[in-house]
Amino acid sequence: MDMKLRLKIWRQKNAESKGHFETYEVNANEHMSFLEMLDVLNEQLISEKKEPVVFEHDCREGICGSCSMVINGRPHGPVQGTTTCQVHMRTFKNGDTITIEPYRAGAFPVIKDLSVDRSSFDRIIQAGGFISVNTGQAPDGNALPIEKEQAEKAFDAAACIGCGACVAACPNGSAMLFTSAKVSHLSLVPQGQVEHSKRVQDMVAQMDKEGFGMCSNTGACEAECPKEISIENIARLNRAYMGSVFGSQK
């Protein structure tokens, strides 16, 4: 079914410019994805010799997380456990007004329109989100027994795609869910436990340096995460951080 929509989209030239909402009318089909609908809008704007709306995308398969934007006040839109690119227009109704904004966080400065700079996440990973000790070759991984429960928890944490929805949903702009997921998926397997204490301290220090806010346990991050990463990881990170700090003072 075809549908006519009104879009209120945030337009901003760069981080220093003052942004504003612009309203557009677009005709879409209920089978389109949200990004395909934006493609239609941009084709329309280009044909009218107007500047298209800048937004990020890559895989369009719910894997990379680069399609991040806030739709009607919710990161990635109204569908639970789903990235923007996997939201389809049948979620909305003919005649709806849809408000589309970039992520709002001091650590995610606007590049242009709906695109934000999330390189702060990369620097958190660079600070310690890796295993530097010798773990052997690929076949050696099968020789290390790991309890099923631990392996499942590590896999669940590793599902984080670093999209930043947790930061956008948090009233404090905290990156605790992201950081804790990256710490957890390494610390829950034997290969990552060797440098666990240093990893925790380095990644938390970098997170604070980037200007992310403190966690206040509202749970909004878990509710809006497209991969439904559990806030149990935040509790695990807090325990690990306290243990590493006080352990290092002995």
Q: How far is CA 195 from CA 48, 134, 168, 232, in A?
A: 57, 12, 30, 21
Average pLDDT over residues 179-186: 96
- What is the model's pLDDT at position 143? 82
* Residue 36 C-alpha from the chain's centroid: 20
pLDDT over 70 at 77, yes or no: yes
10: pLDDT strictly greater than 60 = yes
Beta-carbon contacts of residue 149 (< 8 Å; ≥ 6 apart): none
Give tens-digit pLDDT for 84-133.
Answer: 999 999 999 999 999 999 999 999 999 999 999 999 999 999 999 999 88
Quick one: pLDDT at residue 111? 97
Is 69 within 8 Å of 98 (Cβ atoms)? Answer: no
Walk me through the domains of the chain, giving residue ranges and CATH numbers. Answer: 2-106 (3.10.20.30), 118-248 (1.10.1060.10)
pLDDT in tens, 45-71: 999 999 999 999 999 999 999 999 999
Distance CA(131)–CA(120), nearest Å, equals 20
pTM: 0.93
Higher pLDDT, 145 or 227: 227
Residue 248: pLDDT band by 50, 70, 90 thresholds? low
Query: pLDDT tens digit string along 16-54?
Result: 999 999 999 999 999 999 999 999 999 999 999 999 999
Mean pLDDT of the chain: 94
CB 225 within 8 A of CB 177: yes
Question: DSSP assignment of 77-106, as one string?
Answer: -SSTT--GGG-BGGGS-TT-EEEEE----T
Pairing of strands 2-11, 97-101: parallel
**pLDDT at residue 249 greater than cutoff 50:** no
How many angstroms separate the CA atoms of 33 and 54, rounded? Answer: 17
H helical segments located in 111-147 = 119-128
